[in-house]
Structure 1
Amino acid sequence: MTVQADAATPSAVLDRVSLVLDAFEGPGRLTLAQIVRRTGLPRSSAHRILERLVQLRWLRRDGRDYELGLRLMELGSLAVHQDRLHRAAVPFLHELHRTTGFVVHLAVLDGTDVVYLDKIGGRLAGAVPTRVGGRQPAHCTAVGKAMLAYAGAEGGDVFGAGPVRQRTRYSIASAAQLRAELAKVRTRGIAFEREESLSGFGCVAAPVGDIGQAVAAVSICGPVDRMAFDHRLAAPVRMTALGIWRNVEDGQVRVRPTLQQSRPLTVMPKARPAAALQARAADALQYV
């Protein structure tokens, strides 16, 4: 059985399949009627695509309800584990969690959202409603602000003149406020978030990338009354970001601090992230 709409080109077919899969963003199952409403596809076309995706194990059907299937989960897991950035980050993320006790996130920017590549948090993780593959509005999160700050002129204008989504009463409420916040991030090389995405929680984040760039960001998150929004948490987060980026290129890339370019940092050994973090902790304080 071939997934094909009448008079549709192959690219149009793929566009329709993408629409169907995108409809499943978020928790829960969907019925055919809900998918038709979310995609705008004709009912017959949506039904054909859904049934074929079930056969391919991309979706799973239970009665009248559809949900994401095992094949998509398998591919998603492979994508994460095959990603060079993620592989380089894993030992440093675990060490950051061990050192601070807070939930650790690794995220990338996708439009005006952040997408989480990893989350490590032990018992505290259940209190923070994030997940690998999940999204949050970038301007409400420390990882998002850490990346938007280095996204060029468009970073502070991602919302244009339109409304800004607020998650809590502390969330940034305007493009002008966001631009001012991103200027602070560029000045200190660290992004802070205090109850902007989740009441009672705060985050400290640093960009991962070469000087003036952010290909990703790493953060720690915990109860706001237990977070120190100064060098005590900024230093280990910043050092983790630096260590990840050096490890991305197998120790061949020398990364200078975002704020100062006094001298290159030495290469951090791949096999001993904990020792490297401790050895560089004092050096990091001058940059945060």
Structure 2
Amino acid sequence: MTMAVEKATETPSAVIDRISLVLDSFDGPGRLTLAQIVRRTGLPRSSAHRMLERLVALRWLRREGRDYELGMRLVELGSLALHQDRIHRAAIPLLRDLHRATGLVVHLAVLDGSDVVYLEKIGDHLATAIPTRVGGRQPAHCTAVGKAILADRDNTAVDLSDRRTRFSIASTAQLVAELAKVRAHGVAFEREESLPGFGCVAAPIGPAGEAVAAVSVCGPMNRMAFDSRLVAPVRMTAMGIWRSAEGGPERVAPTLQPLRPLRGGPAPRVIGPNPATLQPA
């Protein structure tokens, strides 16, 4: 009788909310048991079990024994969402150029609430040292990509209590000062604020004052150049992505002077003309 009443009174929006609650419980590594999902969602055990089995049948989840994990249908939909995203589609060739030019890990990210969500990550052996992933989140104020976008947003609430290292921004005054620098120079820096030993340089993507995404290069601090050697190619890549997304014909290749290589590693390649010959955009 209770089950019949529950089904009769449950609205479609309530069902969607419950499904979202269940899927959100998988935000993290590893599989989950029914008991863990009930504990994380607060749903009645019988309701959670019915919903899980239906999601397994629809391939949104996958079950092995008593454990559940995200299913292939979500992988398919996530991949399709990226494919349909015009910024991501426009960015891919330019992100590859930027990685080849710098030898550093390249990220494409958007702002979601007070976090950044990564849409793309391109890198070689360095990529494994930086614990970011496509679809992963980081507090925006701890990242260069986040600060690049936040500088264009006036009313975004930021939880400064979520710090990743001792170098992370810790006060409103510090954040305001940092974002003012980003607006003044059109580029954001991160120095060990999200990961000890690593830094990033990022630029916003979008019309002036209305950033929709950001692109960055990241690597070990002894390989980072917080000057025109990285600022120029990152900014040019950001401009090229936006022009391509808007349907412009130009494809802007990143330009880079040689950087001091990692100890024992090859020097990064130089792609494009000499930065000294570039005119300001």
* TM-score, reference length from structure 2: 0.88
CA deviations 1:68-108 (Å, max 9, x no partner) are 01111111111111211111001100000000000000000
- Whole-angstrom CA distance in 2 between matches of 1:38 and 1:283: 57
Q: For residue 19 of structure 2, what is the aligned residue in structure 1?
A: 17
Q: For residue 254 of structure 1, what is the aligned residue in structure 2?
A: none
- Whole-angstrom CA distance in 2 between matches of 1:5 and 1:144: 43
Aligned ranges for residues 131-280 of structure 1 at < 5 Å?
131-152=133-154, 154-155=155-156, 157-159=157-159, 164-251=161-248, 268-269=250-251, 273=253, 278=272
* Alpha carbons of structure 1 residues 5 and 65: separation in structure 2 relative to 1, 3 Å: farther
- Whole-angstrom CA distance in 2 between matches of 1:89 and 1:250: 12
- Whole-angstrom CA distance in 1 between matches of 2:149 and 2:108: 12
- Whole-angstrom CA distance in 2 between matches of 1:57 and 1:211: 42
CA deviations 1:33-78 (Å, max 9, x no partner) are 1111211211111111111000111101111111101111111111
- Whole-angstrom CA distance in 1 between matches of 2:276 and 2:8: 65
* Unmatched segments (≥5 aa) in structure 1: 252-266
Aligned ranges for residues 50-61 of structure 1 at < 5 Å?
50-61=52-63
4+ long deviations beyond 4 Å: 272-275, 279-287
Displacement of 1:168: 0.7
* Alpha carbons of structure 1 residues 145 and 93: separation in structure 2 relative to 1, 3 Å: same
CA deviations 1:159-185 (Å, max 9, x no partner) are 3xxx52110111111222111111111
Q: Which letter does structure 1 place at the counterpart of 2:158? A: V
Q: For residue 49 of structure 1, what is the aligned residue in structure 2?
A: 51
* Alpha carbons of structure 1 residues 45 and 286: separation in structure 2 relative to 1, 3 Å: same
Q: For residue 111 of structure 1, what is the aligned residue in structure 2?
A: 113
Q: For residue 263 of structure 2, what is the aligned residue in structure 1?
A: none
RMSD of equivalent CA atoms: 1.9
Q: Which letter does structure 1 place at the counterpart of 2:168? A: S
Question: Number of residues paired by the alignment?
Answer: 261
Q: For residue 132 of structure 2, what is the aligned residue in structure 1?
A: 130
Displacement of 1:114: 0.5
CA contact under 8 A between 2:117 and 2:138: conserved in structure 1? yes
Displacement of 1:158: 2.5
* Unmatched segments (≥5 aa) in structure 2: 1-5, 256-270
Displacement of 1:5: 4.3
Q: For residue 95 of structure 1, what is the aligned residue in structure 2?
A: 97
Q: Which letter does structure 1 place at the counterpart of 2:143? A: T
Q: Which letter does structure 1 place at the counterpart of 2:80? A: L
* TM-score, reference length from structure 1: 0.86
CA deviations 1:183-234 (Å, max 9, x no partner) are 1111111000011101110000000000111100000000011101111111
Say yes or no: does 1:37 pair with 2:19. Answer: no
- Fraction of identical pairs, as percent: 70
- Whole-angstrom CA distance in 2 between matches of 1:32 and 1:280: 59
CA contact under 8 A between 1:107 and 1:116: conserved in structure 2? yes
* Alpha carbons of structure 1 residues 243 and 283: separation in structure 2 relative to 1, 3 Å: farther
